Amino acid sequence: MARLESRGVPGPIPACAGIGFRSVHHHELVAERPAVGWIEAHTENYFHEGGAAGRALERARANYPLSLHGVGLGLGSAEGVDREHLIRVKRAIARFEPALVSEHACWGRAGGEFFNDLLPLPYTDEAVELLARQVGEAQDFLGAPLLIENVSAYVSFEHSQLKEWEFLSAVAAISGCGLLLDVNNVYVSSKNLGFDAQAFIDGLPADRVGEIHLAGHAQSGNLLIDDHGSQVCEAVWQLYRYAVSRIGAVPTLIEWDTHIPALSTLVAESRRADAILGEVRGLAA
């Protein structure tokens, strides 16, 4: 696999705010080099040897630490993990040398069909065992630790035995993976399913949380829809402040996947996250 001529910024991703690497911003990000701490790209968009997207990420990688965030592995699928997909993730890691690699606590295939969505898991002992095993196997194959993200949920399974935070904590303890805490997803799920969002955060092993996501959501009737298509709302900012006061400063991504605004808007959101992280560091000093 071709190596970058200009090595990216070495070392771990700093405990500050980063932004998503979106195709509409590729040229501007490389040309203007806004002062954000790091960038995150969706792994599946960089599966292929060629393509303008890969070349753009190589150019951006020379200026920013990188996180690769996957959406298609379905590590909780009882039908198993697609080995070809895993191979492509490994190639992307080799090509772009991310400092963080992440995926989701979800499943995505059954009966030979892929649903290309982050489908919710039942919180059962069997699901803990399967997800932890497939996360562990993926980490071994990739040669990299994974951060596993909590997804937004619109349903709960009748057979669930555990709370979601108990489930994620068990998966992390067994597999050795880290956790990616999506604060917006916690908020959305807490409203949709009726649990205490702070209890969720309190229930996670703080030392396992390696990254935080912040995003916007939409309202549809009584439901919150996780569309990642707007600014972070005040309630989520407050929950984020609570999370970092408990967990400490960790790399925080402004995640905006739909109705993508100007790059300056993402940068402005990241500044607010940086301000909260700065306050937490000040209190901890």
Partner 1 sequence: MQSSEKYVASLREMQSAFAAALRDPAVACAVLPAENLSIYRNNAAVSFRVALEGSYPVVRRRVGDDYFRQLTWQYRERFPSRSGDLHWIGQDFPAFLFEHLQGSEYAWLADLARLEWARSQAAIAKVEPPMLADVLGRFAPGQLEHLVFGLQPSLQLIASDFPIFSVWLANQADNASPVDQSVGPECGMVRARSDLLEVRPLEPRLFSYLCALEAGAPLGEAVNTAGLDQSALVSALGFVFSEGLVSSVR
**Interaction pattern, residues 139-178, with partner 1; x per rule: CB under 8 A:** ---------------xxxxxx-------------------
Our finding on whether 47 is near partner 1 (CB under 8 A) is: yes
Residue 242 CB contacts under 8 Å (≥ 6 apart), including other chains:
198, 201
Query: Which is closer to partner 1, CB of 112 or CB of 282?
Result: 112
Amino acid of residue 162: L
Q: Give the CA distances from residue 1 to residues 10, 91, 93, 117, in Å, rounded to whole numbers and listed in that order.
A: 19, 8, 10, 29
Our finding on whether 25 is near partner 1 (CB under 8 A) is: no
**Interaction pattern, residues 92-111, with partner 1; x per rule: CB under 8 A:** ---------------xxxxx
Answer whether 29's CB lies under 8 Å from 21's CB. Answer: yes
Answer whether 100's CB lies under 8 Å from 67's CB. Answer: yes
Closest CA to 152 of 126, 184, 195, 176: 184
Query: Binding to partner 1 (CB under 8 A): which residues in 190-249?
Result: 192, 223, 225
Q: Give the CA distances from residue 275 to residues 15, 72, 128, in Å, rounded to whole numbers and listed in that order.
A: 12, 33, 36
Distance, CA of 68 to CA of 45 (rounded, Å): 10
Query: Which is closer to partner 1, CB of 44 or CB of 255?
Result: 44
DSSP track, 229-241? -SPPPHHHHHHHH
Query: Which is closer to partner 1, CB of 67 or CB of 189?
Result: 189
Stretch that binds partner 1, among 112-120, 141-149, 171-179, 261-269 (CB under 8 A): 112-120
Our finding on whether 52 is near partner 1 (CB under 8 A) is: yes
Query: Which is closer to partner 1, CB of 37 or CB of 98?
Result: 98
Single out the residue of 9, 114, 163, 260 in contact with partner 1 (rule: CB under 8 A).
Answer: 114
* Tokens 């509409």 sit on residue: 24
- The partner residues of 107 in beta bridges, in order of sequence, read 119
Query: Which is closer to partner 1, CB of 125 or CB of 196?
Result: 125
Give the residues lining the site for partner 1 (CB under 8 A).
44, 47-52, 55, 71-74, 77-79, 82, 85, 88, 107-117, 119, 122, 124, 126-127, 130, 154-159, 192, 223, 225
